[in-house]
Structure 1
Amino acid sequence: MDTTRVSSTAFDGTPHAPAHARRFVRQVLGEWQLTHLAEDAVLLTSELVTNAVVHAGTGIELTCRLDVDADPAKLEIEVDDHHPTRKILEAEPAPDSTRTSGRGLALAGMLADAWGVTYTRTAKRVWVRMELADGYDAHEATPAPPRTAPVETLHVGVVVADRDGLVQSWNPEAEELLGWRADQAIGRPLEKLVDWRGHGPYALSLADTLDLGRWRGEARMRHSDGSLLPVYVSHLRTKGQRCSIWMVVAREHGYLLTPPLRREAGRRIMDLLDQDMPFAELLDTIAQIVQMSSGGDAAYVLLAADGGNRFGVAAGAGATAGLVGVLAPGVFGAERRTPTMIEDLLAVDVELAQQLNARSLACAPLLVNGEPAGYIVVTAAQPGRFDDELTVSLQHIAGQVAGPVQRERLAEQDRAHRGRLSFLAEAGELLAGVHDDELIAALTAQLVVPKIATWAAVYLTDLAGMTRLSHVWHSEERHNSDLRKSLPAIPRTALDEVSWPVGPETVLSFPLATQGRSYGALVIGRAEPTLPLEVADLLADLCRLVALNLHTALLYARQATTSRVLQRSLLPMRVAPMPGLESAVVYEPAGEGTDVGGDFYDLFTVADHWCFALGDVCGCGPEAAAVTGLARHAVRLLAKEHYTVADIFDRLNHALLEEGEEGRFLSLLCGELTPLPQGGALCTIASAGHPPPLLLRPDGRVEAMAAPQLLLGIEAGARFYVETFELAPEEVLLCVTDGVTERRNGDRLLDDGDGLAALLSGCRGLSAHAVAERVRHAVDTFAEEPSQDDVALMVIKASAALHREGAPSPGLRSAGSGATRATREGDGFSATEPPHEVRP
């Protein structure tokens, strides 16, 4: 029996080739039980390959050959390149020579028993020979005979396809196995004869597989009777003509073509570790190699999470389920340090079997310093698919990759941590200050698409526990409408129990919960079948951040509603109609989202006359609003009890002092309007520290009509007096707060140089509503910056027409209330134009 052992591989002529070669030789010598030669052999290999890269730069073929029948037994290492024009220099340059070419082969003379160079027309081969020491047991390195196969049913079909995938050769064994005659198969595309199934985003297509140098694995080929026959394929691509050669046997004979998993997959995985590729891609490729080499339906790489006590899916290949986060403990535990093979997972862990959609499972731990840092896992849908040999191979691979994967994982965790902090900081800044739950939902969906998911949907749960679909967002906006239709608008079950529509993406749901309450869920669709742990952690952090913002928005909405109801109670619901007079009011509190500030107004009827009030409380916020409510309601109540204006001031002054809050002063302008038979009204007015009212005469003159008195809430013994004047027809009375007179633009105030009086004088002939609008516009445009003070103004204009007693008189028309008219009986005075209330 020929006991010569040969193992070869090929590399591109790149700077990475020496590293690949060193790993390959170390692996081969370990399998041949020649580890005592490994150091010298690896050093020689490195020098030979480096020399070929430097001097040839072409593709390189490396061959290790062990001849145990020779006397003595010998190991040869050969390096072939495809650039024979440059000869290797001998290893004896002059001592003072500065030449560098050929120097490395001096090692061959020192470490090898023999070395040489062989030239052909197309290639150059440099080889070294190492004789094995005495006492070497050749039987230990002799391969064991293969397992006996049921030869009565064995057919080894040989199929050759060209670079385009067209069948060029079909041997009789392939005809016996698959039923197709050679004339039927030759010329057909190989893809028509193969039912090729790839799973996951990293699965290879048939065209990609044909382009590989070597590949082995399970597939299904079409029999001539139309059935699909499970087969095992050993694929080899020739270098010259680029043909693909397939050796095909029935699946039950696959072991005849299958090399030990640890030799084939282990070498490919170790080559990967020398390449500079993203960590996630590295794990996915490892999973793909293990899945294809083991013949399992799916393969996973699990990594430790939560301090190393539990393990989550970091990568998957094959028929993987939509897995996310951490798997249930049990089979994968921190105490398990040996390979495991489970023939029927359903009998051991029902939940895990459902999660993995598998019955057979084999796994091996990634041991780092004696502790499991993860697992390599292979699964199959049918029970009893794996044997103990597979677990040994998996453990061999796990031992090779554990250290490098852990180092890469730690580096990736550091990068992911920085990226997660940056992403969450961006999300927090974007969501900060947003108190609208609909806007929060829209921002959340757009944060994860397309960075993390292909599409996203946000469900919101209100205080009553009703859940509804709030917002959807797809990476291709034209699919937004279809996406919304495919998702339940109002789920009939809990969000963690909803059966999401099956589509090309894997659908995952994350709860939006904080402080023990659910505010909805974030649902995403991803093209990838699994979700890496780092992405799962990022989404969990994002969902907590969104839930906190939804909680804040809910509290803000509740507080805003309460505040709005209370604030509305501080303003009159409507302004009383005044026959014979028309009125207009402008009220603009400072501050966003504020309905009431420190300024207030009121206009109401008492018996046969009307009362009006305009005030300004010192300060702002809820405290000022409380004084506003006290003042407005006190004025109205005292006036209804027929107190005079002076008495109202006196009582309100005492009430403010009794409140006991220092600095809560109040400026107040209050007056009574009594209709006169000839038209107009008699005005009785008093001003407590308030800007004086201005009277616009028909000829354009403007006069201040009330002298300022002491502010209310300062002195208990203060006495107040009233002044009386007649508001004649066509005359306009303008009452404002200091938000108008003290409107600032740099160092200038609006009322500097009697600016407000000049403004009013230009309003001759205008209606009360038009006067109010002109003053409001002047205040708004006086400076570019918005006003920092409340603005309130009231305009009252006497009508020129007289109506007989009992005649219908126009009523009030307020902004937005329409042109309705009301009749007030018993007064005989009516307005020629209904009064107006101007609101912001």
Structure 2
Amino acid sequence: MDTTRVSSTAFDGTPHAPAHARRFVRQVLGEWRLSHLAEDAVLLTSELVTNAVVHAGTGVELTCRLDVDATPAKLEIEVDDHHPTRTILAAESPPPEGDPLPTSGRGLALAGMLADAWGVTYTRTAKRVWVRMELSEGCDQQEVVVGPPGLAPAMIAAPIDTLHVGVVVCDRDGVVESWNSEAEQLLGWRPEQAIGRSLKELVAWRGHGPYALSLADTLNLGRWRGEARMRHLDGRLVPVYVSHLRTRSEERRAIWMVVASDHRYVLTPPPAPLRREAGRRIKDLLDQDMPFSELLDTIAQIVQMSCGGDAAYVLLAADGGHRFGVAAGAGVTAGLVGVLATGVFGVDRKAPAMIEDLLAGDVELAQQLRARSLACAPLLVSGEVTGYIVVTAAQPGRFDQELTVSLQHIADQVAVPVQRERLAEQERAHRGRLSFLAEAGELLAGVHDEELIAALTAQLVVPKIATWAAVYLTDLAGMTRLAHVWHSEERHNADLRKSLPAIPRTALNEMTWPVGPENVLAFPLLTQGRSHGALVIGRAETTLPLELADLLADLCRLVALNLHTAMLYARQATTSRVLQRSLLPMRTAPMPGLESAVVYEPAEEGADVGGDFYDLFTVADHWCFALGDVCGSGPEAAAVTGLARHAVRLLAKEHYTVADIFDRLNHALLEEGEEGRFLSLLCGELTPLPQGGALCTIASAGHPPPLLLRESGLVEAMATPQLLLGIEAGARFYVETFELAPEEVLLCVTDGVTERRDGDRLLDDGDGLSAILAGCAGLSAHAVAERVRHAVETFATEPSQDDVALLVIKAAAALRQVR
């Protein structure tokens, strides 16, 4: 006779199913007096139910089967689901019963570690994952009971001659189809009276425990054993013990074997031996070679599953060992990260603790953990607390002192191996951290654009640390905006940007981020007491290890510093741009009958003005022009540029001659007293002539002479270089005069043109600039300027290291008098 004990139940495919399953298994094993197996059995059950809920999302059937007649005796746990998209194997080719199928995932890995056997089988309508735990491991025998805790079965509670084993067969709707004579002897109903009745009429069904099934649900289970009460023909209720079996044929009949409660031992198994506890399994786990983070995650997962909590954590010492932070977590962790600032965990608390309601003593910790109940045990190494194992639950009063003893047993076994592995991991993490930060620093160095910094930051984090990242920037006015997003799968970038607020309406540290598959964490970008925004990341993992949290904090400080530098650079660049623009004329004066064109390119990247300058303006009945070059470039040269340009214009407006302008400017530069700051200057006046063209009066103080392109195509140098300005106080300057006839072109340049270098060769070697100008006959002033500029740019592959300025004036027709 089959004496296998079976207890089954079913749950909806909701996130609460694993917790219900854990309680059910604990209750069943307690009734069977197998509490010593509860740690491993509960862990395995929770893993299998969790996998079924996550991957199927359908209702789940859970069956516990104890077979003590087997050699060795064994406990089997089966989880059936009905995956809505899974294809069940065809009837003509089902997999052999009990054959394992290829599987993957953490749950099955734990099954391989904690169970003696496991596998996946298919029925015609469902997929079943099962694990087997053998009870013969050399442990002492212990009595096993099926029934309420504390109720031991009588080995022979009634005379054997009163034993009746009734067999009842029902169809899929619970209507009795077969009723044997033993059932008649037990319950008084003759077969013709019972057949055709609904089993509901014959059974006074009352489920046992908070997760008991209805009679209809029980009839749909594959196997089940337990107590019930059936109606006798005379109306009384008879306590019975039932062994239920559902056939796998198309008719799916339910078969009940029924005995009186006094004869329950006929259908119940004999005693079973003990099994190793979960703590020992965890210790075996530590001997395996796996990454440190995965090891901690597995420990947290085993603790959470075996303790029946909503979440479990491994805390490790941080901040010099005086505070503790989350190193790993399992369950409903809500993206917990960083250090837990609380008095519950301390270096002086060297005993396990249990708190029934956190809200009554530590509101901050309750909010961080989103929990009310807490049990913890310290990790002790050489008498020092190096961390904690913690289990939590959302409801108060979920744990008892017995649980803290189990936690401490686990903590004592894992403390030394975890500390050893952590020290090794810290060394590796430190090297990786330095390498990562060095790479980030090199990538961000010299970047002065906030948008580019935001883009680089997001791409540094993804996918190394996070699945996606977003960077928010805060400007000087305090306005925060979404600057850049980056997803590990670029096709999701647009959707990610839409899901995040473009302009947050609340402070970033108070934001409620959109709920998605990833846990969202935000890190402020702070430097010198000012917020430059925040880095927001999404991670698939439920917790962020301390090492990664510290790394992200360092990265955010580095990014914030670069953003601060970029802000200062932008502010300085804006200020310089405004000031430097004042050093050049806003527009050149119109000259009727003359064409003019100017090219100005400072050597320093991002600058508007360097050491070269130009000007073109009217004075009374003539025009004045100037082209100068201050020794050096950049802002320092620009300061002298401003002095020279404004002095030339002011003196010319006061009707000083060109020679007098040079003399006054020479003294002004010498009075500035800045050694080595010289100035080359070309300055001239254009007086219109009645027959067309203009009379040009010009002087050159150490400046490249202007070139005149005659209408015949001949090119001539038109001024003799004199002493540079700012060198000698007693220098005397003179002017030269020539006529600029119609269609003739005057080209004035700085040494950035003539000394454009390509290796050892200069652009003006062998009168190179004259040759370029000679080829410009018949061109307009703008065309001449562009051709010379292009020639300077293409003369060498390297960019010019000097400021470039050139002024082109062409006499087009008879000039009108300037009014």
Query: Displacement, 1:452?
Result: 1.0
Distance in 1 (CA, whole Å) between partners of 2:784 and 2:747 is 9
The answer to whether structure 1 residue 713 and structure 2 residue 726 are counterparts is yes
Letter of the structure 2 residue corresponding to residue 486 of structure 1: S
Q: Match of 1:324, SS? A: coil
The answer to whether structure 1 residue 501 and structure 2 residue 536 are counterparts is no
Q: Where does 1:244-283 land on structure 2 (aligned, <5 Å)?
A: 263-283=276-296
Q: 1:181 to 1:494 in 2, by over 3 A?
A: closer
Give 2:552's match in structure 1, choosing from 527, 539, 557: 539
Q: 1:513 to 1:742 in 2, by over 3 A?
A: same
Q: Please tell me whether the aligned partners of residues 606 and 639 of structure 1 are also in contact (alpha carbons under 8 angstroms).
A: yes
Distance in 1 (CA, whole Å) between partners of 2:661 and 2:408 is 94
Query: Displacement, 1:336?
Result: 0.6
Distance in 2 (CA, whole Å) between partners of 1:756 and 1:395 is 90
Which residue pairs with 2:538 in the alignment?
525
Distance in 1 (CA, whole Å) between partners of 2:587 and 2:476 is 33
Give 2:350's match in structure 1, choosing from 330, 337, 347: 337
Which residue pairs with 1:558 in the alignment?
571
Q: 1:145 to 1:375 in 2, by over 3 A?
A: farther
Q: Deviations over 1:267-326 (max 9, x none)?
A: 210111111000010001011111111111111110110011111111111222220100
Q: 1:757 to 1:549 in 2, by over 3 A?
A: same
The answer to whether structure 1 residue 724 and structure 2 residue 759 are counterparts is no
Q: Deviations over 1:372-403 (max 9, x none)?
A: 10000111111111111110111111000000
Which residue pairs with 1:632 in the alignment?
645
Q: Match of 2:277, SS? A: helix
The answer to whether structure 1 residue 185 and structure 2 residue 217 are counterparts is no
Which residue pairs with 1:463 in the alignment?
476
Q: Where does 1:530-679 land on structure 2 (aligned, <5 Å)?
A: 530-679=543-692
Letter of the structure 2 residue corresponding to residue 303 of structure 1: L
Distance in 2 (CA, whole Å) between partners of 1:608 and 1:144 is 124
Distance in 2 (CA, whole Å) between partners of 1:293 and 1:151 is 23
Query: Displacement, 1:827?
Result: 3.9
Q: Please tell me whether the aligned partners of residues 734 and 793 of structure 1 are also in contact (alpha carbons under 8 angstroms).
A: yes
Q: Where does 1:43-122 land on structure 2 (aligned, <5 Å)?
A: none
Which residue pairs with 1:363 in the alignment?
376
Task: Give the fraction of aligned pairs with identical amino acids, expressed as a percent.
Answer: 84
Query: Displacement, 1:152?
Result: 8.5
Q: Where does 1:140-539 land on structure 2 (aligned, <5 Å)?
A: 149-150=148-149, 177-180=212-215, 184-186=219-221, 263-539=276-552
Distance in 1 (CA, whole Å) between partners of 2:273 and 2:563 is 58
Letter of the structure 1 residue corresponding to residue 507 of structure 2: A
Q: Deviations over 1:783-818 (max 9, x none)?
A: 111111111111100013x48x6xxxxxxxxxxxxx
**TM-score normalised over the length of structure 2:** 0.69
Letter of the structure 2 residue corresponding to residue 432 of structure 1: A
Structure 2: which 5+ runs fail to align?
1-35, 37-70, 74-135, 154-202, 225-270
Which residue pairs with 1:107 in the alignment?
none
Q: Match of 2:326, SS? A: strand
Distance in 2 (CA, whole Å) between partners of 1:543 and 1:658 is 50
Q: Match of 1:664, SS? A: coil
Letter of the structure 1 residue corresponding to residue 214 of structure 2: G
Letter of the structure 2 residue corresponding to residue 780 of structure 1: E
Distance in 1 (CA, whole Å) between partners of 2:688 and 2:430 is 77
Query: Displacement, 1:151?
Result: 6.6
Q: 1:258 to 1:455 in 2, by over 3 A?
A: farther
Distance in 2 (CA, whole Å) between partners of 1:569 and 1:153 is 102
Query: Displacement, 1:484?
Result: 1.7
Distance in 1 (CA, whole Å) between partners of 2:673 and 2:72 is 100
Q: 1:395 to 1:649 in 2, by over 3 A?
A: same
Q: Match of 1:622, SS? A: helix
Distance in 2 (CA, whole Å) between partners of 1:508 and 1:406 is 27
Letter of the structure 1 residue corresponding to residue 616 of structure 2: L
Which residue pairs with 2:762 in the alignment?
749
Letter of the structure 2 residue corresponding to residue 582 of structure 1: E
Between 437-446 and 173-182, report the one with greater CA deviation: 173-182
Query: Displacement, 1:455?
Result: 1.2
Distance in 1 (CA, whole Å) between partners of 2:532 and 2:805 is 41
Query: Displacement, 1:479?
Result: 1.9
Q: Match of 2:442, SS? A: helix
Q: Match of 1:442, SS? A: helix
Distance in 2 (CA, whole Å) between partners of 1:470 and 1:635 is 48
Query: Deviation above 6 Å: which 4+ runs of structure 1?
Result: 141-148, 151-154, 172-176, 257-261
**TM-score normalised over the length of structure 1:** 0.67
Letter of the structure 1 residue corresponding to residue 469 of structure 2: A
Q: 1:174 to 1:618 in 2, by over 3 A?
A: farther
Q: Deviations over 1:60-114 (max 9, x none)?
A: xx999xxxxxxxxxxxxxxxxxxxxxxxxxxxxxxxxxxxxxxxxxxxxxxxxxx
Which residue pairs with 2:747 in the alignment?
734
Q: Deviations over 1:610-641 (max 9, x none)?
A: 00000111122322111111110000000000
Q: Please tell me whether the aligned partners of residues 692 and 705 of structure 1 are also in contact (alpha carbons under 8 angstroms).
A: yes
Letter of the structure 1 residue corresponding to residue 287 of structure 2: D
Query: Displacement, 1:460?
Result: 0.8
Query: Displacement, 1:475?
Result: 1.6
Q: Match of 1:570, SS? A: coil
Distance in 2 (CA, whole Å) between partners of 1:633 and 1:715 is 21
Distance in 1 (CA, whole Å) between partners of 2:554 and 2:206 is 57
Query: Displacement, 1:146?
Result: 9.7
Which residue pairs with 2:231 in the alignment?
none
Q: Please tell me whether the aligned partners of residues 604 and 633 of structure 2 are also in contact (alpha carbons under 8 angstroms).
A: no
Q: Deviations over 1:336-392 (max 9, x none)?
A: 110001111111111111111111111000001111100001111111111111101
Which residue pairs with 1:790 in the alignment?
803
Structure 1: which 5+ runs fail to align?
1-30, 32-61, 65-126, 130-137, 155-171, 191-256, 806-825, 829-840
Q: Please tell me whether the aligned partners of residues 142 and 274 of structure 2 are also in contact (alpha carbons under 8 angstroms).
A: no
Distance in 1 (CA, whole Å) between partners of 2:777 and 2:216 is 108
Q: 1:349 to 1:465 in 2, by over 3 A?
A: same
Q: Match of 2:764, SS? A: coil
Q: 1:599 to 1:457 in 2, by over 3 A?
A: same
Distance in 1 (CA, whole Å) between partners of 2:502 and 2:137 is 73
Q: Deviations over 1:232-281 (max 9, x none)?
A: xxxxxxxxxxxxxxxxxxxxxxxxx99999x5211210111111000010
Which residue pairs with 2:265 in the alignment?
none
Distance in 1 (CA, whole Å) between partners of 2:475 and 2:713 is 59
Q: Match of 1:600, SS? A: strand
Distance in 1 (CA, whole Å) between partners of 2:762 and 2:655 is 39
Query: Displacement, 1:469?
Result: 1.3
Q: Please tell me whether the aligned partners of residues 612 and 670 of structure 1 are also in contact (alpha carbons under 8 angstroms).
A: yes
Q: Match of 2:340, SS? A: coil
Q: Please tell me whether the aligned partners of residues 175 and 182 of structure 1 are also in contact (alpha carbons under 8 angstroms).
A: no
The answer to whether structure 1 residue 703 and structure 2 residue 716 are counterparts is yes
